[in-house]
Amino acid sequence: MQSSLDANVSSGLDIQLPPLHKAQKEVVENMQRFTVLSAGRRWGKTKLGVWLCLKYAWEGKRAWWIAPSYSMTNEAWADLRSIGIEYGVRVKEAERTIITTTGGSVQVRSADDPMKLRGAGLDFVVLDECAFMKPQTWAEVIRPALTEKKVVHYLSAHLKDITFLKSSTQKLTI
């Protein structure tokens, strides 16, 4: 996979994702184990999260996209599905999952019932609009699932949600 996200992916695919704008590139270049992004509407948080999920999937890894409700997953699912079909991935509509030719996957999930998110071993997670999720979603379900693999985690929210993000980042210690 060759993209502006990572020119060193070893899958051998020539994937051409849309270019990132300057601020998105800065986020990618400065990714930590836990990255919190709070930016305004139309900044491209969803697009960046989708591209990052796909990057990990094409590396043969398992990624999840989690939004507060099922309806809030629609935009990300449409983007993932569209790009995936273009590159020949297997699409499981009912499960909102794409499986790449490298064996990686991206699954789109809802945080309506945090207990249904338990038990997964993940390589990458996006919590979209995390300020609207139940507090235990992070503390009791997602955070423990990330301990094993030391995965990268990407939180996304609007600027107005900065209070939640500040309190969350204080808990994001290893």
Tell me if 84 is assigned to some domain: yes
Of residues 9 and 174, more confidence is placed in 9
Which residue carries 């948080």 as its tokens?
A: 45
Provide the pLDDT confidence category of residue 2 given band limits of 50, 70 and 90. very low
Give the number of domains in the chain. 1
Q: What is the pTM of this model?
A: 0.78
Cα dihedral value 26, 78, 158, 145, nearest 10: -80
Least confident piece of the model among 27-31, 77-81, 113-117? 27-31
Q: Does residue 160 surpass a pLDDT of 80?
A: no
Structural domain boundaries enclosing 84: 23-171
Tell me if 1 is assigned to some domain: no
- Distance from the Cα of residue 65 to its chain's centroid: 5
Q: Does residue 8 surpass a pLDDT of 60?
A: no
Q: What is the CATH number of the domain that holds 131?
A: 3.40.50.300
Tell me if 79 is assigned to some domain: yes
Tell me if 55 is assigned to some domain: yes
Tell me if 16 is assigned to some domain: no
Residue 36: the pLDDT is: 76
Tell me if 164 is assigned to some domain: yes
Residue 122: the pLDDT is: 84
Tell me if 29 is assigned to some domain: yes
The fraction of the chain above a pLDDT of 90, given in percent, is 28
Q: Does residue 28 surpass a pLDDT of 80?
A: yes
> What is the rounded average pLDDT of the residues 112-127?
85
For helices 74-86 and 45-58, the axis angle rounded to 10 degrees is 40
Tell me if 3 is assigned to some domain: no
What's 29-58 look like in SS3? HCCCCEEEEECCCCCCHHHHHHHHHHHHHH
